[in-house]
Structure 1
Amino acid sequence: MRIVIAEDAVLLRAGLVRLLTEAGHEVVADVDTAEGLLKAVEQHEPDFALVDVRLPPTFTDEGIRAAVLVRSQHPRIAVLVLSQYVEERYAAELIASRRDGLGYLLKDRVADVDQFLESVGTVGAGGTVLDPEVVSQLLVRSRHRQDLELLSPREHEVLGLMAQGLSNASIAANLFLTESSVEKHIRSVFTKLGLAHEDGGNRRVRAVLRYLGYPDPGPGHPSSAHPSHQEFRP
């Protein structure tokens, strides 16, 4: 296959070029930016693009957005994305575009050369390869979103205000309800989300984590008691 590589880490990029070349592929371009990737695709019309999720200048989502653009503008080009960590939002966005000729792997998988080359071949042939960790976390998120669908509109409102850190009294004032009504809605939320009474105060934090789309750390987990991204008032 004729391959374009977009990876900003010089040593990894050089290693990928050598690995793919020795496997019989032709690396027609190796670049370190999303802009370089798009130009290389237009110039060389490759069969396959190997893309890092995070590329300069901001190292946030340039790579994945370029990959989505390549897939939309050049449907015949297979795309395999590499990521240091599981980026659930980016993975979901990429998968939503199309699943044929698509791969999403953690960079650690490159160390298993045979498996990595097999993944390249599968994606290049129009198949789909998703890292087990990506699948696991997307399934967790999907299951949590399904749980939220069980909530009534009012329960969604209450949980949304809980996510903002409001106390029961403040939620009651915002929704023009009595505090006892708010407590009733919260108990219903806990029940529908399967949060057992034995979890104690952690149930409130775990419910909010579900609402925000984060994996549930489970009862008694330190992050349940002390979430770093959100302040919760009693």
Structure 2
Amino acid sequence: MSLTPAEEAHGRAPREPLRIVLADDAVLLREGLVRLLTDDGHQVVAAVGDGPALVEAVLTHRPDVAVVDVRMPPTHTDEGLRAAISVRAQLPGTPVLVLSQYVEESYAAELLADGSGAIGYLLKDRVARVEEFLDALARVAHGATVLDPQVVSRLLAGQRRNAPLEALTPRERQLLALMAEGHSNTAIARRLALSNSAVEKHIGNVFAKLGLPPDDSRHRRVLAVLAHLGS
């Protein structure tokens, strides 16, 4: 589904009702998310509390998007992430929005490793900013890659000695960070007060410096984000 001019200008995905599977072991947060999502017109087809239940629910319901907590029982380390990766392996391209209490760069890298997009990684604090959370959810459901700005900042800080990234100018780094947050070219142009053609030129330079030549079979924006992560 294409964006309206207003949605494209603000980098927003259309907000039609979505079928959602939700996985979080914290009952209060899970029920709060169910209420938030249903109030926005979405249908939560399953709300579960552990990784295996998430995989089963996604395979059963084939939702438009899954919202997943990284840390779930029994060890509260990375069960949610592992379940999300399992879902993507069994149903390639399934949109997944991961929520985490902390910035954990390796998790973001592993989620993005298949290069197919439709992945989001947000800090749980972002849920309190309801419109931002719902907009990110819609973008992921429509195939975008959306990373929390704090995650992007950490990734940039951690990759200062990465030779390909060192070749980027400050402006090109800025554009790459906004790409990693899931913004469209038009939204980036508005945010940086640049023309669309200037944004396209800068992004073309980013792709060239990162060694990503034109290739319709690959998602170059996702691959550029992967360069952030050193994958």
Counterpart-to-counterpart distance in 2, 1:88 and 1:77: 21
- Using the size of structure 2 for normalisation, the TM-score is 0.61
2:53 maps to 1:30: no
Structure index of larger Rg: 1
| Runs (4+) off by over 3 Å | 144-147
Q: 1:119 matched to which residue of 2?
A: 136
Q: Percent identity?
A: 61
**Alpha-carbon contact 2:93-2:117 (below 8 Å) kept:** no
Counterpart-to-counterpart distance in 2, 1:63 and 1:98: 19
2:116 maps to 1:61: no
Higher relative contact order (CA 8 A, sep 6+): 2
Counterpart-to-counterpart distance in 2, 1:47 and 1:77: 8
Q: Which amino acid aligns with 1:39?
A: E
Distance 1:88 1:76, change over 3 A: closer
2:28 maps to 1:45: no
Q: Deviations over 1:119-166 (max 9, x none)?
A: 11111111111001111111222223449xxxxxxxxxxxxxxxxxxx
Q: Where does structure 1 lack aligned partners over 5 or more consecutive residues?
A: 148-234
State the secondary structure of the residue aligned to 1:144.
Answer: coil
Q: Which amino acid aligns with 1:68?
A: I
1:73 to 71, 83, 90: 90
Counterpart-to-counterpart distance in 2, 1:144 and 1:128: 24
Q: Deviations over 1:138-195 (max 9, x none)?
A: 1222223449xxxxxxxxxxxxxxxxxxxxxxxxxxxxxxxxxxxxxxxxxxxxxxxx
Deviation of 1:31 after TM superposition, in Å, equals: 0.4
Q: Deviations over 1:32-84 (max 9, x none)?
A: 00011011112111111000011100001111111112122212421000000
State the secondary structure of the residue aligned to 1:5.
Answer: strand
Deviation of 1:9 after TM superposition, in Å, equals: 0.7
- Using the size of structure 1 for normalisation, the TM-score is 0.60
Q: Which amino acid aligns with 1:49?
A: A
**Alpha-carbon contact 2:22-2:47 (below 8 Å) kept:** yes
State the secondary structure of the residue aligned to 1:97.
Answer: coil
Root-mean-square deviation over aligned CA pairs? 1.7
Deviation of 1:97 after TM superposition, in Å, equals: 2.2
Counterpart-to-counterpart distance in 2, 1:39 and 1:73: 11
Deviation of 1:107 after TM superposition, in Å, equals: 0.1
Q: Deviations over 1:192-223 (max 9, x none)?
A: xxxxxxxxxxxxxxxxxxxxxxxxxxxxxxxx
2:160 maps to 1:143: yes
Deviation of 1:99 after TM superposition, in Å, equals: 4.8
Q: Where does structure 2 lack aligned partners over 5 or more consecutive residues?
A: 1-17, 165-231
Q: 1:98 matched to which residue of 2?
A: 115
Counterpart-to-counterpart distance in 1, 2:116 and 2:104: 17
Counterpart-to-counterpart distance in 2, 1:13 and 1:51: 10
Counterpart-to-counterpart distance in 1, 2:122 and 2:96: 11
**Alpha-carbon contact 2:19-2:45 (below 8 Å) kept:** yes
What are the equivalent positions in structure 2 for 1:1-234 lying under 5 Å apart?
Answer: 1-146=18-163
How many residue pairs align between the two structures?
148
Q: Which amino acid aligns with 2:43?
A: E
